[in-house]
Structure 1
Amino acid sequence: MALSQRSRRYAPIALLGVAGIALAGCGAPGGAPGTDGGDGGDATVTIYGTIVDDEAKLLQESWKDWADENGITIKYEGSQDFETQLGTRAQGGNPPDIAIFPQPGLFADFANRDYLKPAPEEVEKNANEYWTKDWVNYGTVDGTFYGAPLMANVKGWIWYSPAKFAEWGVEVPTTLDEMGALTEKIQATTGTPAWCAGFESGTATGWPGTDWVEDYVLRQSGPDVYDQWVTNEVKFTDPQIKQAFDSVGEVLLNPANVNAGFGDVRSINSTAFGDVAPKLAGGECALTHQASFLSGFFPDGTKVAEDGDVWAFMLPGESADDSAVTGAGEIVGAFSDSEATQKVLAYLSSPEWANSRVSLGGVTSANNGLDPANAKDPILQETIKILQDPNTTFRFDASDLMPGAVGAGTFWKGMVAWVNGTPTDDVLTQIQTGWPAS
């Protein structure tokens, strides 16, 4: 799977402080922003993002017909070093026309530094018509709307085997208390741990653990506390955050519950997050917690469906009618206000583009004009329904909203230390030290 927003986490970083630094092999697209790029007289628009490999090919395919019809050449460049290179290029006067940001925090940083142009009127109109207020807010900085969302995913899925559930006589839980009872019933029935988990992800090891904590903070303490936690009004050392850690710890730190198919509790840190999928499909593991993109890690031939080999349900809340979820996605920002750039921005914020891209497979969008039937994967269809439900309370991944020193620094490292046995209070204090002094 390509290293995109679905398989790698990106840390917001400070923009480089020295302008004119060499681009270190960046390979910037040719042609000045929003101008004739020399391709038969067409207007050329450059787009830069984190999406690479096969996913980048699908991205380019998604807009090809529209671009041809409108006489616009779109040159896309994907990079795994997006944050560093984008900062260098912006300060060096060579930014792309459009950037696809995987984090609202990084997006806001560029807007605050006056690199980004306010979004055109048509983009803002599309955003208000086809996206929820929560999503529009992620593209708004200090009251100015700079960019519309692009793709989205929902986290907090609990993956399981429908056949095994039937064999064990258990049902999908509707509350967190029922979730705990389900874990105990499976463990008692099978005599083995019910859960498998993997936190290993190279230099980003630990991020799957942050997703667990974020889900519990939102469900146990609500969106207001979640929002205050993201902005450091509620500290990691606050009892409400510790409650989430303690609840997650009842699963992940309990050797009776983990790590099915891999080893003891500490094996969580050495298990690649995608490696849990084959264990679940093979019956060695009963439950795992991961975003909708886990469907791409199951062995070929695995049927992902309600009556298939594996399926998933959303981690429930304190009560059966709770509808809060966490997720992630991208925000599109522009460094150019050329006419061609504005046309591309408007298209990317439209239902037409969302349906084009989703029909190619592998991704979802929260655009309300998207037809869920265009998603090939049943779990992605369910994801779209959740994103489009007006009763859903959506919150962006907290670690992606926090300063990079915390969200992709002390938080990730803290999760690893916690699994390795460091006491919870010490871990929370250590994570909190990552917050900038001002």
Structure 2
Amino acid sequence: MALISTRRALAFSGVLAVALSATACGSGSDGGSGDTASSGGTSSIDCAPYTAFGDLKGKTVTVYTSITAPEDGPHIASYKPFEECTGVTIKYEGSKEFEAQLPVRVKGGNAPDIAYLPQPGLLKTMVATGAVKPAPAEVVANVDKNMPDFKEYGTVDGTFYAAALGANVKSFVWYSPSAFADKGYQIPKTWDELLALTDKISKDNPDAKPWCAGIESGDATGWPATDWVEDVMLRTAGPETYDKWVKHEIPFNDPSVATALAEVGKILKNPAYVNGGFGDVKTIASTSFQDAGQPILDGSCYMHRQASFYAANWPEGTKVAEDGDVWAFYLPSKTAEDRPVLGGGEFVAAFADRPEVKAFQTYLSSVEWANERAKTCGSGGCVTANKNADASLLKNPVDKLSAEQLTDANATFRFDGSDLMPGAVGAGTFWKGMTDWITGKDDASTLDYIEQSWPKS
């Protein structure tokens, strides 16, 4: 699936201009024309495209998301043109307890104006409360033009609610190029080669482990382990069976799922292979996903499977590049020709339909925002779902690598399975089940537990 276009982005089109019909609440705008200097005096902001939003000075839009420090900085910076030109203040709040707390807030009548939902399954749950507002026409037009491949994920029962925001690649293994070079290790091209390399590293390095891992993430603890299963499921069962599994057309304890889990267990539950820098297998459950890959830097472990956005978690000064301190290779499949790619992203859901909220939604679905996101990017994780974004603005090597994976004509892209499942499973029993699995529960009991939790209707 192509997510990022290699051609240069189009200028702000009439899609944003017609936002006036839905979002204008006055004839003047504080930044309505001309240029406004951006922070630091590094550039100027052309406010002309924002005049369509009208006079929104003094308005506030609240944003609630699971994106926390250090990944939140580039997001907040990307709002600056919108804020300066419209006069709207974006109040950003990131939380590790997002998935658990958002339903509580909505039920208590304290919903944010905008929430970035990392799971389409959670979107369905929120839509069922009646609190989510359908996307305005301007957002629909932007999505049809800029990210049509993602439209289905923001649609519930035929109504479109949420435009895609960021896009990430999860099928990566982080490693130290210098450590591999010193030992003469080659990047594996197949799954069997990866397992053989894992075993060789284990035998060659008695004071280190081939892998480090961590699945602790507050109320979302367990999600990195579900990513492992999904990535391996794509490789052992294939995309068609993967789709059936996600839709529950086959049970969660189907033999194909059991095969994938057993394959993951060859690595994550082998005490000879994990958990470098932290301890035994069970420490995976208590190690935060942010900390999990750090032992690569001191040689305590050699590999860490995690998404492209993990680039933001390396310490300041770490060179993330093919010739750097750390880099990433594609998680191989059964053959070198097979190219399944697991990915994810966030979706912009609105719980209010005030003019300033609609205006911000429209901005986030535009080429203008996608390009600003690339410009403000820090250490990676800045690829968006917008296919008309200017790919040349992606300066970070990890983002370029991600864009290459997502636009590879030979790749078979699938969205994160747990994110597509009903929230009670994908953001509930699947997370908990995998955490219990890491700490000792057997394969069959784990899969049975998750299967029995699947909603009956």
Q: TM-score normalized by structure 2? A: 0.78
Q: Does 1:176 align with 2:194?
A: no
The residue aligned with 2:401 is 382
Taking every aligned residue pair, what percent have the same amino acid on both sides? 47
Match of residue 362 from structure 2: 346
Deviations 1:75-106 (A, max 9, x none): 33425365566556656777554433222122
Query: How far apart are the structure 1 equivalents of 2:178 and 2:73?
Result: 36
Q: Which residue of 2 aligns with 1:197?
A: 213
- Please say which of residues 135-144 and 390-399 is displaced more in the overlay: 390-399
CA contact (8 A) 2:71 2:312 kept: no
Query: What per-residue deviation string (whole Å, max 9, x for no partner) do you get for residues 321-374 of structure 1?
Result: 323222222111334555554443222111210111222124321222233443
- Name the structure 1 match of 2:147: 131
Q: Kindly report which structure 2 residues correspond to 1:120-159, keeping only aligned pairs within 5 A, or say none.
A: 120-133=136-149, 135-159=150-174
Counterpart mapping for 1:8-407 below 5 A: 42=56, 44=59, 46-50=61-65, 51=67, 56=72, 58-69=74-85, 71-78=86-93, 80=95, 82=98, 87=103, 96-133=112-149, 135-191=150-206, 192-337=208-353, 339-361=355-377, 362-364=380-382, 365-389=384-408, 391-407=410-426
Q: Using the alignment, how far apart are the partners of 1:223 and 1:128 within structure 2?
A: 25
Would the aligned equivalents of 2:154 and 2:164 in 1 still touch at CA under 8 Å? yes
Contact 2:232 2:260 in 1 (8 A): yes
Shift of 1:281: 1.1
Distance 1:225 1:34, change over 3 A: farther
Structure 2, unaligned runs of 5 or more: 1-22, 31-54
Q: Give the aligned partner of residue 12 of structure 1.
A: none
Paired residues, number? 402
Alpha-carbon distance change, 382 to 372 in structure 1, aligned in 2, over 3 angstroms: farther
Q: Are the structure 2 counterparts of residues 56 and 266 from structure 1 closer, same or farther at C-alpha, using a change threshold of 3 Å? A: closer
Residue 212 of structure 1: CA displacement? 0.6
Indicate how the Cα distance of structure 1 residues 225 and 187 shifts in structure 2: closer, same or farther if over 3 A, else same: same
The structure, 1 or 2, with the larger RCO (C-alpha pairs under 8 Å, 6+ apart) is 2
Residue 423 of structure 1 is matched in structure 2 by 442
Shift of residue 243, structure 1, vs aligned partner: 0.7
**Equivalent residue number for residue 51 of structure 2:** none
The equivalent of 1:28 in structure 2 is none
Q: 1:207 offset after TM fit, Å? A: 2.2
CA distance in 2, matches of 1:391, 1:320: 11
Q: Which amino acid counterpart does residue 405 of structure 1 have in structure 2?
A: A
Is the Cα–Cα contact under 8 Å of residues 367 and 388 in structure 1 kept in the other structure? no
CA RMSD of aligned residues (A): 2.9
SS state at 1:286 partner:
strand
Q: Tell me the amino acid that sits aligned with residue 363 of structure 1.
A: G
8 Å contact 1:34–1:338 — kept in the other structure?
A: no
Correspondence for 2:14: none
8 Å CA contact retained: 1:366, 1:388 = no
The separation in 2 between residues aligned to 1:149 and 1:194, in whole angstroms, is 36
TM-score by length of structure 1 reads 0.81
2: distance between equivalents of 1:422 and 1:82? 27
Contact map agreement 2:99 2:219 (CA 8 A) in 1: no
Q: 1: distance between equivalents of 2:291 and 2:71?
A: 21
